């Protein structure tokens, strides 16, 4: 799996702070931005987060190239609807070379790993045979497994990114999507460290675990 930040709002934290400051200032946004020090930006973002005033965070967005995740995980990802996605198409892209994801639980069992690899290879072989027989790729793809690797571009604003990370960095989330957002966090921290610091499981914000069973980070209310 590879995650790369390919575009983002310039000075994202300054933009968020200036937008928040504008709501109670007679100055223009550009003048506010010229006068705000990094310390003031950090202080204002901390205040916004503490007060739950999160709408200014929607003014900063991040675009990430995501490669090598399974279709099982991409199907989970696109359930987060306040975002934009463009995904490699199995309808138009013929997969002459087939890449797939193997869960560690399967990889750690030698006998099952061999059977898993054989099953995936057999599915791809039939897929290729159907393409050779003139079956459209949009139909031949029906045989491809959830393990099939995919690539996509995702754009998400900072507010939604904090919300998604609160859900998907929870250690009770599926392992692959946890890994995905761990890498997203690393990329965002490079250009927006204050926002990056807020990309963490929901239990850190709540102070308890709201799942039926805790992973151990925080106790449940029950």
Q: Which of 13, 10, 4 is nearest to 194 (CA)?
A: 13
Residue 64 falls inside a structural domain: yes
More confident site: 30 or 151:
151
pLDDT of res. 221: 78
Examine the domain organization and report whether 14 and 109 are in the same domain. Answer: no
| 128 and 25 inside one domain | no
Helix (H, G, I), strand (E, B) or coil at 7: strand
Average pLDDT for 27-52: 91
Please tell me the predicted confidence (pLDDT) of residue 125: 97
User: In this structure, is residue 211 part of a structural domain?
Assistant: no
Interaxial angle between packed helices 175-191 and 158-168, expressed in degrees from 0 to 180 and rounded to the nearest 10: 150
**Which pLDDT tens digit goes with each residue over 175-221?**
999 999 999 999 999 999 999 999 999 888 887 788 877 887 888 87
Residue of 146, 151, 91, 90 whose CA lies nearest to 119: 146
Residue 93 within any structural domain of the chain: no
Mean pLDDT of 58-62: 97
- 57 pLDDT tier (thresholds 50, 70, 90): very high
CA–CA separation, 210 and 222 (whole Å): 9
For residues 176 and 201, state if they share a domain.
yes
The percentage of the chain sitting over the pLDDT mark of 70, rounded to a whole number, equals: 100
Rounded to an integer, what distance in angstroms lies between the CA atom of residue 222 and that of residue 220?
A: 5
Residue 11, pLDDT > 80, answer: yes
Expressed as residue numbers, the domain containing 19 is 2-85+149-206
Q: Is residue 133 part of a domain?
A: yes
What DSSP string runs through 90-126? TTTS--SS--B---HHHHT-HHHHHHHHHHHHHHHHH
pLDDT at 23: 80
pLDDT at 74: 97
β-strands 2-8, 61-70 pairing: antiparallel
Q: Which two tokens stand for residue 29?
A: 């946004």
Query: Hey, CA dihedral for 9, 158, 181, 63, is it positive or negative?
Result: negative
Supply the pLDDT for residue 45.
95
Q: Is 6 helix (H, G, I), strand (E, B) or coil?
A: strand
Burial degree of 104 (CB within 10 A; 0-12, 13-18, 19+)? exposed
Q: Report the number of distinct structural domains present in the chain.
A: 2
**Residue 168 is a catalytic residue:** yes
What mean pLDDT, rounded, does the chain reach?
94
| Domain assignment of residue 62, yes or no | yes
Residue 69 falls inside a structural domain: yes
Both 108 and 132 in a single domain?
yes
166 plus 72 within the same structural domain: yes
Q: Do 117 and 158 belong together in one domain?
A: no
Name the DSSP class of 214.
Answer: -
Work out the percent of the chain whose per-residue pLDDT is above 90: 80
Read off the pLDDT of residues 124-177 as tens digits, 9 standing for 90 and up: 999 999 999 999 999 999 999 999 999 999 999 999 999 999 999 998 899 999
Same domain, 69 and 8: yes
Backbone torsion region of residue 216, taken as left when φ is above 0, otherwise alpha when ψ lies between -120 and 50, otherwise beta: left
Give the C-alpha separation, 222 to 211, whole Å.
Answer: 10
User: Are 165 and 57 contained in the same domain?
Assistant: yes
Domain assignment present for residue 134? The answer is yes
Is residue 24 predicted with pLDDT exceeding 80?
no
CATH number at residue 153: 3.30.1360.170
Would 95 be classed as within a structural domain? Answer: no
Say if residue 81 is in the same domain as residue 161. Answer: yes
For residues 107 and 62, what is the distance between their CA atoms, to the nearest angstrom? 33
Residue 41 sits in the same domain as residue 132: no
pTM of the model: 0.91
34 and 80: one domain?
Answer: yes
Q: Does position 26 have pLDDT exceeding 90, yes or no?
A: no
Are 46 and 123 found together in one domain?
no
Which one is catalytic: 21, 141, 168, 194? 168
Q: Give me the pLDDT at residue 205, please.
A: 81
């Amino acid at each position: 799996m590879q995650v790369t930040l390919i575009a983002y709002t310039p000075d994202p934290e300054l933009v968020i702070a200036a937008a928040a400051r504008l709501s109670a200032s007679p100055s223009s946004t550009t003048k506010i931005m010229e006068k705000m020090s990094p310390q003031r930006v950090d202080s204002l973002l901390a205040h916004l987060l503490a007060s739950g005033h999160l709408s200014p965070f929607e003014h900063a967005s991040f675009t990430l190239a995501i490669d090598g995740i399974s279709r099982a995980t991409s199907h989970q990802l696109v359930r987060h609807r306040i975002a934009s996605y463009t995904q490699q198409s199995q309808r138009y892209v013929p997969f002459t070379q087939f890449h797939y994801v193997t869960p560690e639980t399967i990889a750690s069992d030698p006998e099952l790993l061999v059977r898993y690899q054989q099953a995936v290879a057999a599915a791809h072989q039939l897929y290729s045979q159907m393409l050779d027989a003139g079956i459209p790729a949009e139909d031949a793809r029906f045989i491809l497994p959830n393990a099939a690797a995919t690539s996509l571009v995702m754009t998400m604003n900072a507010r939604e990114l904090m919300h998604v990370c609160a859900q998907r960095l929870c250690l009770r989330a599926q392992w692959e999507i946890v890994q995905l957002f761990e890498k997203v966090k690393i990329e965002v921290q490079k250009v927006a460290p204050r926002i990056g610091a807020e990309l963490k499981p929901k239990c850190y914000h709540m102070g308890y675990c709201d799942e039926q069973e805790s992973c151990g980070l925080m106790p449940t209310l029950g």
